Structure 1
Amino acid sequence: MIKPHHVHGTGLVLDGLGLLLRGPSGAGKSLLTLSLIETWQMRGLEALLISDDRVDLTVDADGVVMNAPPLLTGLIELRGRGIVHRPSCPSARLNLVIDLVPAYERMLEEEAFTTHILGHEVPRAPVPHAERIGLRHQELLVMEAVRASASPAQP
């Protein structure tokens, strides 16, 4: 069995698209994830949490797969409340990386919209972290990145 690559981040599935949110501790990954799940569910769309704080990545013939570490599936921290549960799935194809970044740039170069993970090119959306822009602005940037991607998340 191939050893998984551990990533500090949060994995989720929004309407069939697997997203990985990366960023430093305190950047707002968990809060943004909870808000995205709520927004998608209110629209009647699928929204599932893989895991928060750590995601295990593996590679198969079709690309990168996100996996929840044992005991973390569907658990996420809501600061001020503690660990909460959300509807979940144990794994999904990685289709889009959301990087919470410290800089706020208005117009990005095309190469900012891809990244390489475990030898695979993956679409990327840099989103300023919570200290730079509000949660609604972050959501809109993620929604636009999701619209630009169209691959299913099934491994």
Structure 2
Amino acid sequence: MSASGPAAGRTNIHATAVLAGDRGILITGPSGAGKSTLAIALIGRLRAGGRFARLVADDQLFVSGHGGRLVCHAPPAISGLVEVFGLGPRELASEPAAVIDLVGRLVPAGAVARMQEEASEVIADCRVPRIDLPAGDVISAAQMLISWLRLPPFSGN
């Protein structure tokens, strides 16, 4: 791709991104860890509660830094598609880009600390807060993300 193409200045990473209200969440982890499943569950839970939630991109993202903020964009070839386990790619309402406020890193459940210390990760020269999420436990992982975002029931609203 040329330097003037749509991906100029961007890095392609293996991850899934969701926009939850005005907050961007980047979900990382190895293949098969449940990034897509977690994204679908999180979007469904937020929408069921009357909150805005959209997929940005599933499996591959273009990321770049802008003024110290991490921005991710959906590659055109997979924009609006999410992989449903056992069925393959399906269309899902999406946004073309998001500023990322949190990295949720899927790790083996036994590796998630009961009380996590503050952590961050540097992606595209941007430092972003990070929490570890239990791979294979969608309910707990979604609950952790909603709690971190301080959305109901964790907001006191």
TM-score by length of 1: 0.86
Q: Is 1:87 the counterpart of 2:93 in the alignment?
A: yes
Partner SS, residue 147 of structure 1: coil
RMSD: 1.5
- Percent identity of equivalent pairs: 34
Aligned residue among 63, 67, 70 for 2:73? 67
C-alpha displacement of 1:62: 4.8
Task: Supply the distance in 1 between the matched residues of 2:37 and 2:48 (Cα, whole angstroms).
Answer: 17
The letter of the residue matching 1:17 is R
Any gaps of 5 or more consecutive residues in structure 1?
Answer: 149-155
C-alpha displacement of 1:107: 2.2
The answer to whether the 8 Å contact 1:49/1:73 transfers is no
The letter of the residue matching 2:38 is L
The answer to whether the 8 Å contact 1:76/1:86 transfers is yes
Partner SS, residue 87 of structure 1: coil
Partner of 2:114: 106
Between the two proteins, the alignment pairs up a number of residues equal to 143
The answer to whether the 8 Å contact 2:65/2:125 transfers is no
Partner of 2:13: 7
Q: Which runs of 4+ in 1 moved over 4 A?
A: none
Partner of 2:133: 127
The range that moved more, 18-27 or 80-89, is 80-89
The letter of the residue matching 1:135 is V
The letter of the residue matching 1:54 is Q
Q: Is 1:19 the counterpart of 2:22 in the alignment?
A: no
C-alpha displacement of 1:60: 1.6
C-alpha displacement of 1:104: 2.8
Aligned residue among 47, 54, 58 for 2:60? 54
Which has the bigger relative contact order, CA under 8 A and spacing at least 6?
A: 1
C-alpha displacement of 1:120: 1.7
Partner SS, residue 65 of structure 1: strand
User: Which structure has the greater CA radius of gyration?
Assistant: 2
